[in-house]
Amino acid sequence: MLSYHVAKQMKPHTICETLLMPCMKDVVGAVIGKEHVKKLDKIPCSYDTVARRTREMASDVQDQVIDKLKSAGKFSLAVDESCDVSGSPQLIVFVHFVNNSVIAEELLCCLELKTTTREYTPQNAVSFTPVGTGRTLTGWRNEARARSEIRDDQPV
């Protein structure tokens, strides 16, 4: 629960043990009693625990999006490049699909690029590899065809 709220607020993972836990101990001690404060020590909130749980939540969300794509059957990709606040080039991949008769848009992934955004093409940065189904995510038989279709649809 703590990891979820830390991730949702996009705060550093250390905030759990440096701010949240001391605040919770103060509140529990004042409201319920000092004898209950020790029970809070059983809640794991180290940097590593919060980081691991955040990765697990992200993986679960990505699995849910992929399941929606599989059930939708057809979808489109929107690939965009950008730089994060530190200036590192990023590739963002969105998918559009029909979900319960409504057009949905979901973030599929955000990849850190090894080169600047001026020196790459999206078709070289995105890898359409199998996602647990034994076939490519997009249904293309090979990556070369996927790249050529992206090149035609998304001129760089």
| Residue pLDDT, tens place only, 66-102 | 888 888 888 888 888 888 788 888 888 888 988 888 8
- Beta bridge partners, 98, equal 103
* Average pLDDT for 2-31: 86
Q: Which residue has the higher pLDDT, 92 or 29?
A: 29
Residues 148 and 77 in one domain: yes
Least confident of 40-44, 118-122, 141-145: 141-145
- Beta bridge partners, 94, equal 78, 107
pTM value is 0.55
Token digits for 127? 């890898």
The residue among 115, 69, 62 whose CA lies nearest residue 88 is 115
Structurally, the chain folds into a number of domains equal to 2
Residue 26 is part of which domain span?
2-55
Residues 123 and 78 in one domain: yes
Residues 87 and 143 in one domain: yes
Would residue 120 count as lying in a domain? yes
Q: Is 126 buried (19+), middle (13-18) or exposed (0-12) by CB count in 10 A?
A: buried
